[in-house]
Amino acid sequence: MEEYKRWAATDLKDFDLNKELRDIEGDDEAIKDRFAVALKFGTAGLRGVLGAGTNRMNIWVVRQATQGVADWVKTQGGTQTVAISYDSRLKGWNFARDAAGVLAANGIHVRIYDELMPVPALSFATRYYHCNAGIMVTASHNPAQYNGYKAYGPDGCQMTDDAAAVVYASIQKTDVLTGAKYMSFAAGVEKGLIQFVGDDCKKAFYEAIESRQVRPGLAKTSGLKLVYSPLNGTGLVPVTHVLRDIGITDVTIVPEQEYPNGYFTTCSYPNPEIFAALEKGLQLAEKAGADLMLATDPDADRVGIAMKCPDGSYELVTGNEMGVLLLDYICAGRIEKGTMPKHPVAVMSIVSTPLADKVAAHYGVELRHVLTGFKWIGDQIAGLEKNGEEDRFIFGFEESYGYLAGTYVRDKDAVVSSMLICEMAAYYRSIGSSIKQRLEEIYQQYGRYYNQVDAFSFPGLSGMEKMAGIMEKLRKNPPSSFAGKAVTKVTDYAEPEKTGLPKANVLIYTLDDGSTVVVRPSGTEPKIKTYFTTLGKNLAEAKAEKDKLAEAVKPLLA
């Protein structure tokens, strides 16, 4: 209540915040929700609902977080430079501009994009300008009322645990309303501390992506017909730029989702994993008879597609299926073209499909398993780079629709993924096949795997506490079976000495028929996610097995 009164007595330089504080006067629950806790800065940065208070995303919380980043940068030596980008979310430019103002007031140089640009462009600029850090203002695929703040290290990877802990400690010492140094954006520009990202950097970003083509020139003659949706985010400019360069010109943009719009009025959840986000595009694809429908999320680090089936209908492709398809396409294509490196390495997260292991083994590729979060894939690239072997890395993916080919950035990149998916579709079209046909061939060759992710939400202030209690209970009383299938192995990633990976709050149950159940609290939302992998003679059987397992898991997460 004291903190609320302090905010209410301050001119917050924001009409919306001042009004909100007046509107909640006398409403104890609303005040508690905004001021009882503060958004916690972690390796994924900050993410929260827009609004007034320490538990909301606003310019004051952004300034406080940026002061923490500035304090850390000042201990690092180097160029004393930070790159900044932002997507189409509400208040995105305000937050990016204020972050630049705090950095400049601390004597730190800023390279900020003059237009909204995606996560991979931020990762690239951080590396291109040899920055100490990068900041991306985004809440990824969350609903419109959210915004967020991702922090990156000098390698263009999301910040390490150690760096994030130092930043968080500094944030806690910084008063949210008075503690951050600040100068106006205009003053920072005038002093030469704030500069825009140059055209040379943008050009180098596109060249790096286009150099990842597997069969250069093939797309020009394929006649591929594409429907694309940037879901009102940052993908429009970079994705169409790259597709045009590689020769894919028959591209229809979903008109209602073409231009930046932080309200995301056509889908409440701008997430390319879900049908509702792709619905407008699918309608257009059916009308146009497109070979492929493709959508990138607002910060264009993830991409989802619908592929055309032989009967003219469209089928959504899961993140696991696309990871396997791209791995298969890149391996086969690079072997055919003689561009496969010696001792090639691919990387995937521990919650992704075991089908990828079979595909990698078939092509003689070492497939490494890492914790969830693309920074761990970036970490594997960094290890190869240290030994002068970064060319060995050919592909990395997560089941949550994130893919990367190449070492020019260290986060998932929907721009290069879109290019490779279109090139792959163009290739299969040119040989009288299709993505759908190739996927069926992969299943015939390696077995009918089915992967599904379910999520259980725990909203409110006590949500995180409930989630911790459930995970503790699962560890104290581990289930011995699910739906009549015996648990043959439990892998607890909270025990790094047993897994060889850093500590993580993840449990994997291997069952006697080869199925797996993974339980993992989300790092960015109050949710526990369950990942199921089942095998069957056909899709219906594999799905039925998954449904049985899901029913058995429900009571454990109640």
As a three-state string, the secondary structure of 402-465 is EEECCCCCCCCCHHHHHHHHHHHHHHHHHCCCCHHHHHHHHHHHHCEEEEEEEEEECCCCCHHH
Report DSSP state, residue 221: G
- Residue 383 CA to residue 182 CA, distance in Å, equals 37
Q: What is the DSSP string of 335-358?
A: HHHT-PPSS-EEEEETTS-THHHH
| Degrees, nearest 5: CA angle 525-526-530 | 90
CA distance 78 to 263: 39
Which residue is catalytic, options 85, 140, 352, 418?
140
Gap between the Cα atoms of 15 and 220, Å rounded: 51
**Residue 430 appears among annotated catalytic residues:** no
The C-alpha angle 293, 158, 200, rounded to 5 degrees, equals 70
Residue for token pair 């721009």: 415
- Contact residues for 289 (Cβ-Cβ < 8 A; gap 6+): 225, 312
Q: How many CA atoms lie within 13 A of 488 on its CB side?
A: 8
DSSP summary character for residue 268: S
The string of DSSP codes covering 4-70 is: HHHHHTS--S-HHHHHHHHHTTT-HHHHHHHHSS-PPPBTTBEEEEBSSSTTSBSHHHHHHHHHHHH
Element (H, E) at 124: helix 119-128
- List, by residue number, the catalytic residues: 140
